[in-house]
Structure 1
Amino acid sequence: MLRFATQVHKWLALVVGLQVLGWVLGGLVMTAIPIEKVRSEHHRAKFQAQALPRQGVLDAQGAARAAGVEAVEATLKTTLRGTLWVLKDAAGGTHVVDAASGRHLPPLPQKEARLLAGVQYEGEGKPVAARFYAKAPQETGREEPLWRVDFDDAEKTSVYLSPDTGEVVTMRSNLWRFYDFWWRVHILDFETGENFNHPVLIGLAALTLPMVVFGIVLLWIRLSRDLRAVRRRR
């Protein structure tokens, strides 16, 4: 039994050993680093929610008519660009209009994007670069257009803004990218970092199970021998 268990354990370890090491290292990274810090929540400036104005704004139907939009959903919100109606049409399109006039807001220019990113950022970093993406980078987990403003803090934080409302959509940093790398190692999906049900991961997990079982068997056999040796010496 000892010889059989040793051989099985050895050959399985040769196949899955590196991945097991990756799982352990990835698990250590993901448990040791607070997720709030990974998400750069400590760099989000705290704002007191402002009450929506009761006067001087169009109602949802009036805003939709003024904008020429057949809205199926409307949300009134206060932002750093003012009070806005966010209208959604039946095709899923989003229209951001001024709540007072119903006029479509032009997209953020670069100068304003840098300014609004700085206002909503908290920390010692300064904005050093701003870039507009017609399609958001993969690291954001989104596809809509976004502004990215990079800061020169220790974590190299990137603030992603909506070009319509100027609101922070998400934040990323080198810490997040380090965490994301180990997450992808953990689930073996280096393309999107989202699929943890693919055959490679399932197969390696299935091979790891008997390796662990036979490792426990080997440990039990060796401990039993050691205990018997101790008893004989006594």
Structure 2
Amino acid sequence: MKILKLSTQLHKWIALVVGLQVLFWVGGGLVMTAIPIETVRGEHRAVELKPGPLELGALPALGEIARRAGVAPVQAELHSTPRGPAWTLKPAAGEPVIVSAATGRPFGPMSAAEVSAFAKRAYKGEAGVSGAVLLTTAPEETGRTGPLWRVDFADREKTSFYLSPATGEVVTRRSGVWRIFDFFWRLHVMDWNDGEDFNHPLIIITTALTLSIVVSGFILLWIRISRDVKTARAARKRAP
């Protein structure tokens, strides 16, 4: 029974190597499917704000705005913000520039009280603001760069809203639920840095080894079932 012995040894040792990761896959998959994705994204805490009307006739032309801003945009977007209408000017090279659509100049700095009011307006719930801080570097969990305001709410999910320091817009939402989901996601894809790479060599090798466990397990099952069937048949033949 060389095949049986080989399959048993292969199944046992590979299972010891990848068993913990298989547990992470199953456990992480359970967590990620049990938590609604809308809750993870914090959609239940977001008020659907309708953009205010833009009175184009009262605003300077785009060419004048670009001249005042000192930007030669290849793309421009006009939109409403909590601080009034704004142009996002995208030059051929470099980062987009956000300016007031009324003045063509960058918006001034916001106070903690002002940004807290903007966040509270966009928040759905009864919890109050527990803190507001201007971060010079966007945290990794936001997936963004540059400075951001972070406003925390005293709800059970520990919700945090991240707002643009230029326009006061909520650019992303995070919470304790999101962080739990993100932790299990990183374990699931075996990318413990940022959870972005889900087809790297380590997970491919581990998946291949896990497949060998399944295949060797089926081989063991087939051999043992065949042996039990033969034993049962032999016992019936010996019976009087």
- Which letter maps to 2:172? T
1:210 matched to 2:212: yes
User: Compared with structure 1, are the counterparts of its residues 58 and 16 closer, same or farther at alpha carbon in structure 2 (3 Å cutoff)?
Assistant: same
| Structure with max Cα Rg | 2
Which amino acid in structure 2 is aligned with residue 59 of structure 1? Answer: A
* Counterpart amino acid of residue 25 in structure 1: G
Which residue matches 1:200? 202
Residue deviations 1:106-150 (CA, integer Å, cap 9, x gap): 132222111111111111221111111122000011112111111
Residue 57 of structure 1, aligned match among 56, 59, 77: 59
- State the match for 1:9 in structure 2: 11
TM-score where L is the length of structure 1: 0.92
Give the letter for the 1:84 counterpart: A
State yes or no: 1:115 paired with 2:117.
yes
Looking at structure 1, the residues matched to 143 and 7 of structure 2 have their Cα atoms a distance apart, in angstroms, of 45
Aligned to 2:41: 39
Secondary structure of 1:79's match? coil
**For 1:48-87, what aligned pairs fall within 5 Å after superposition?**
48-87=50-89
Please tell me the root mean square deviation across aligned C-alpha atoms, in Å.
Answer: 1.9
Looking at structure 1, the residues matched to 198 and 119 of structure 2 have their Cα atoms a distance apart, in angstroms, of: 34
- Per-residue CA distance 1:189-209 (angstroms, 9 max, x = gap): 111111223322222122111
Relative to the length of structure 2, the TM-score reads 0.90
**Equivalent-residue separation in structure 2 for 1:161 and 1:194 (angstroms):** 23
1:18-43: CA deviation from partner (whole Å, max 9, x where unpaired) = 11111111111111111111010111
The match for 2:98 is 96
Which residue of structure 1 aligns with residue 180 of structure 2? 178
C-alpha separation in 2, matches of 1:164 and 1:2: 68
Contact 2:137–2:147 (CA under 8 A) maintained in structure 1: yes
How much has 1:227 moved relative to structure 2? 4.8
Q: Structure 2: how far apart are the matches of 1:53 and 1:220? A: 75
Alpha-carbon distance between aligned partners in 2 of 1:223 and 1:81, rounded to the nearest angstrom: 73
Moved more, 179-188 or 80-89: 80-89
Deviation per residue, 1:174-224 (Å, 9 max, x gap): 111101111111111111111223322222122111111011122223334
Corresponding residue SS for 2:13? helix
With over 3 angstroms needed to count, the CA separation of the structure-2 counterparts of 1:33 and 1:228, relative to structure 1, is: farther
Out of 90-99 and 181-190, give the one that drifted further.
90-99
SS at 1:125 equivalent: coil
Aligned to 1:18: 20
Instruction: State the match for 1:125 in structure 2.
Output: 127
Q: Quick one: distance in 2 between partners of 1:175 and 1:24?
A: 19
Greater shift, 127-136 or 94-103, is seen at 94-103
Distance in structure 1 (CA, Å) of the matches to 2:220 and 2:126: 54
Alignment CA distance shift 1:12-1:105 (3 Å)? same
Q: How far 1:103 moved relative to its partner?
A: 2.5
Following the alignment from structure 1 to structure 2, what is the Cα–Cα distance between the partners of residues 75 and 196? 34
Number of equivalences: 234
In structure 1, stretches of 5+ residues that fail to align are none
Q: CA deviation at 1:50?
A: 3.2
